[in-house]
Structure 1
Amino acid sequence: MTTIDTVVIGAGHAGLAVSRLLTDAGREHVVLDRGRIGHRWRTERWDSLHLLTPSWMTRLPGWSYRGPDPDGYLSVGSFIGYLEAYAASFGAPVVDEATVHEVAATPRAHPARRYRVVTSRGTWHARHVVIATGPHGTPYVPAGLAGLDTSRVDLMTSNTYRNPGRLATGGVLVVGASASGTQIADELNRAGREVTLAVGRHTRMPRRHRGLDIFWWLENTGRLARTIDEVADPVAARAETSLQLVGRDDPERATEDLDLGRLQDDGVRLVGRLDCVEGHTARFRDDLAATVGAADATLDRLLDSLDHFVERIGLAGQLWDGPRPRPVAIGTPRRRVDLRAEGIGTVLLAAGYRPHHPWLQLPITGPDGTIRQHRGVTPAEGVYVVGQRFQHRRDSGQIDGARHDARSVVSHLLASSGAPVPATAGSTTGRREPAA
């Protein structure tokens, strides 16, 4: 058993951001991870995946990208190397292969030992605990799939997908049309698989607008900085779908959009939201046209607002004004697909995630499993969370946004014990990632 001031759970970008700020403040702490640094990136991402955000947005406290291609998109392997270099730059006290089994209050303990953190590599008693396990809990599996005949069709989730060659032979039904679903459907289609894509609610987004990456617009118009206190419906805001985007390392395709129209033109068959599977028969809702229409209308409103922004700041004559993405034309989608007759060998779910904290033995989760918090401060004194979806800002769940929540959490943690806040909190100045 070890007594320590702070335990940080998770050695991804959010946990390391917190660790950097605690290190700068001279605060004793440990960072626990069930695997190695960036464990989820190592074990739950497909081979060809690149970040959706351009490299110039890969910013952490005291550290930012300084490689040769700031407008490119880091591969998973490059991003893991980025995190490893960041951790090494300040000697992050990471304990690998430390699976957390329990976080619980210590009855009648001294304030310095409020919480017990039990892991596969020992037990820590701590005054503070920071949960930085990220927004991805456990993959969502729709109840309608309970009737799938898995003796003939493989069922898998996107976090276990690696590449087309590792799937069963035959066609693939991909469920979910946000970033993961569209990217995987595109890769499978290009590999020669027959792909059917079940489309649910999604956020269509162009890769570039008027010559600039869409994230330049989202940042410079203040959309990423919008806080949860400014939205009309916080529950709906936190349930927003991920952007229908792709990051590529191929210069010839880097600016291409990946949307339903492109997939349909390339031969991917679009159907409505999956309703249920009974044996080998999949049934879909009659909602495809309405879902696609809603996404196209939202996209038009966004682009209108970006163009008004250009006019307001006086850049209308300086930025190229090309054609907008065309609305997706939908025919008459099928409502029923016989998986066996169509030769579909895999149903691949890319339908999002649900919160999952079975080790958290504290009364701080809501009915849906999310951790209750405000600006990262939970109802349990000394327990914090970083890196959740729309935790405070719209970009809280993104790599770049976690630095803001890390600053708030560490500031609160230090202030609660009268310690000064480090100057680097939330800053990207200081030491940089070396150019490749």
Structure 2
Amino acid sequence: MALERTDTLVVGGGQAGIALSEHLGKNNVPHLVLEKNRIAEAWRTGRWDALVANGPAWHDRFPNLDFKGDDPDAFVTKDRVAEYLVEYAEMVDAPIREGIEVLKAERLPGEGGFRVETSAGAIEAKRIVAATGAFQHPVIPPIVPETAGVEQLHSFYYKNPSQLKEGAVMVVGAGSSGAQIADELNRAGRKVFLSVGPHDRPPRRYRGRDFVWWLGVLGLWDMAAMKPGTEHVTISVSGAYGGHTMDFRRLAGEGVTLVGLTQSFENGVLSFADDLQKNVAAGDANYLEMLDAADAYVDRTGLNLPEEPEARQSWQDPDCLTNPLASIDLAKEGITTIIWATGFRQDFSWIKADAFDERGAPIHQRGVSVEPDIYFLGLPWQSRRGSTFIWGVWHDAKYIADQIAIQRAYQDYDGEAAIVSTAAE
């Protein structure tokens, strides 16, 4: 059987791979998209049952297709997002092959291009794009040993409260996932402890506009890099229950016990940093900073948006915030499960090229690798703050596809300069 060849091989059939396929098609670039599972698999099985999008449907979408039949201001379910991505892939006629895992890609010695080993055989491609996204491998910090007598799982594998053993639950991580899971478990009647690290917590809505709108008009989606010192600051926002501002004082008032950053474990006792008050205060400052920026924008532009002074009113400080716990004995508190909402790591070990730093992170400029004919898509902050969002990855995909088209044009040059007629002729 003849070896299959293509110009560009895209690895990953999620939102990044689909968006790139659309733009490659518009540039007439022959390509294939390989997905090891199903289209949008992470949305199907890598999320909990009740998850909804963190942004409204009018915003968290590709530019060329609405969420048909959905309220534009609604926060659609994870399954609806998966359906939407399938619809989009069909609309742009993306050449996606599902159920094919890429195992290794290495340069062809003495030739241009790559030999890519897959679970379905080898493919040769002139260039490759890693569009595997930001959420590849769940990370659980090595703090609590497996022998501790408590069930541990990453938020990636959490589905619903009934999945867990009876007893209290410790949720580590107060980004969007951790905060929403803690909220859901508390509403289900579980005793919940939530470990809160550094975080931003924007208002869900302010003066009649969702915070994604405010980020847009204030130019914050297009920030090219994080503020220095905020690399480990997560964002806590929720579209659940119709969408509301994630306020940790509110969660505590409803029964969740807040603790500081999880640090260590010994003899059944989990210990925390003395930073809960600092972390909550920094989140409050971020919230108020957004309100101030929004008010200033309204003043400058004269928009007729209603004032909302109640947005600056704060919930009363709960006892767990004024007198934070330094440690918790898991057995005494009846904690049977720890859910780690502690993020993901990326793995590009299948690319055999000198394209990564000592940590294994891609060395790139807006997704264009330092290694010729290698590209990345779907990286956090790839070009801007919005790069990992559906609409943001679409714009990054256009840039990558344009760069590929430019390189193809250069490579087509045969060494003979074109003869340009002068104006006099």
TM-score normalised to structure 2 length: 0.91
2:385 aligned residue (384, 394, 413): 394
Name the structure 2 match of 1:130: 129
> How many Å separate the matches in 2 of 1:72 and 1:175?
28
Deviations 1:9-52 (A, max 9, x none): 11111110000111222221111111010011122110000010
> How many Å separate the matches in 2 of 1:400 and 1:265?
36
Name the structure 2 match of 1:141: 140
1:324 aligned residue (272, 293, 311): 311
> How many Å separate the matches in 1 of 2:227 and 2:336?
43
Which amino acid in the other structure matches residue 204 of structure 2? R
- 1:353 equivalent to 2:344? Answer yes
Asked if 2 retains the 8 angstrom alpha-carbon contact of 1:17 and 1:61, the reply is no
Which amino acid in the other structure matches residue 271 of structure 1? V
- 1:96 equivalent to 2:84? Answer no
Structure 2: gaps of 5 or more residues: 411-425
Structure 2 counterpart SS, 1:380: coil
Name the structure 2 match of 1:162: 159
> How many Å separate the matches in 2 of 1:351 and 1:413?
35
* Greater RCO (Cα-Cα under 8 Å, separation 6 or more): 1
Which amino acid in the other structure matches residue 285 of structure 2? A
Structure 1 counterpart SS, 2:354: coil
1:286–1:318: structure 2 CA closer, same or farther, 3 Å change rule?
closer
- 1:47 equivalent to 2:49? Answer yes
Name the structure 1 match of 2:62: 60
Which amino acid in the other structure matches residue 171 of structure 2? V
Name the structure 1 match of 2:372: 381
Name the structure 2 match of 1:244: 236
1:75 aligned residue (50, 74, 77): 77
Which amino acid in the other structure matches residue 116 of structure 1? R
- 1:339 equivalent to 2:330? Answer yes
Name the structure 2 match of 1:432: none
Name the structure 1 match of 2:414: none
> How many Å separate the matches in 2 of 1:12 and 1:31?
10
Asked if 2 retains the 8 angstrom alpha-carbon contact of 1:206 and 1:325, the reply is no
Structure 2 counterpart SS, 1:396: helix
Name the structure 2 match of 1:202: 199
Asked if 2 retains the 8 angstrom alpha-carbon contact of 1:149 and 1:279, the reply is no
> How many Å separate the matches in 1 of 2:216 and 2:359?
30
Deviations 1:389-412 (A, max 9, x none): 111111001111001111110111
1:242–1:52: structure 2 CA closer, same or farther, 3 Å change rule?
farther
Name the structure 2 match of 1:428: none
Asked if 2 retains the 8 angstrom alpha-carbon contact of 1:245 and 1:259, the reply is no
Name the structure 1 match of 2:417: none
Asked if 2 retains the 8 angstrom alpha-carbon contact of 1:296 and 1:327, the reply is no
Query: Deviation of residue 205 (structure 1)?
Result: 1.5
Name the structure 1 match of 2:115: 116
Structure 1 counterpart SS, 2:249: helix
Asked if 1 retains the 8 angstrom alpha-carbon contact of 2:380 and 2:388, the reply is yes
Structure 1: gaps of 5 or more residues: 420-436
Query: Deviation of residue 148 (structure 1)?
Result: 5.4
Which amino acid in the other structure matches residue 128 of structure 2? V
Deviations 1:87-143 (A, max 9, x none): 11122111111111112212112x3xx112211112111111111111113222223
Deviations 1:196-252 (A, max 9, x none): 011111111211011111101001211102223xx664xx56x3544211113xxxx
Which amino acid in the other structure matches residue 173 of structure 1? M
> How many Å separate the matches in 2 of 1:98 and 1:148?
33
Asked if 2 retains the 8 angstrom alpha-carbon contact of 1:149 and 1:280, the reply is no
> How many Å separate the matches in 1 of 2:163 and 2:267?
24
Structure 1 counterpart SS, 2:280: helix
- 1:372 equivalent to 2:368? Answer no
1:263 aligned residue (251, 256, 259): 251
Asked if 2 retains the 8 angstrom alpha-carbon contact of 1:34 and 1:96, the reply is yes
1:153 aligned residue (150, 155, 164): 150
1:323–1:26: structure 2 CA closer, same or farther, 3 Å change rule?
same
Structure 1 counterpart SS, 2:333: coil
Asked if 2 retains the 8 angstrom alpha-carbon contact of 1:148 and 1:280, the reply is no
Asked if 2 retains the 8 angstrom alpha-carbon contact of 1:174 and 1:198, the reply is yes
Aligned residues: 404
**Is the radius of gyration larger for structure 1 or structure 2?**
2
Structure 1 counterpart SS, 2:22: helix
TM-score normalised to structure 1 length: 0.89
Structure 2 counterpart SS, 1:416: helix
Identity value in percent:
35
> How many Å separate the matches in 2 of 1:386 and 1:308?
35
> How many Å separate the matches in 2 of 1:366 and 1:325?
44
Asked if 2 retains the 8 angstrom alpha-carbon contact of 1:376 and 1:391, the reply is yes
Range with bigger deviation, 254-263 or 381-390: 254-263
Deviations 1:170-191 (A, max 9, x none): 1100000010000000111111
Name the structure 2 match of 1:312: 300
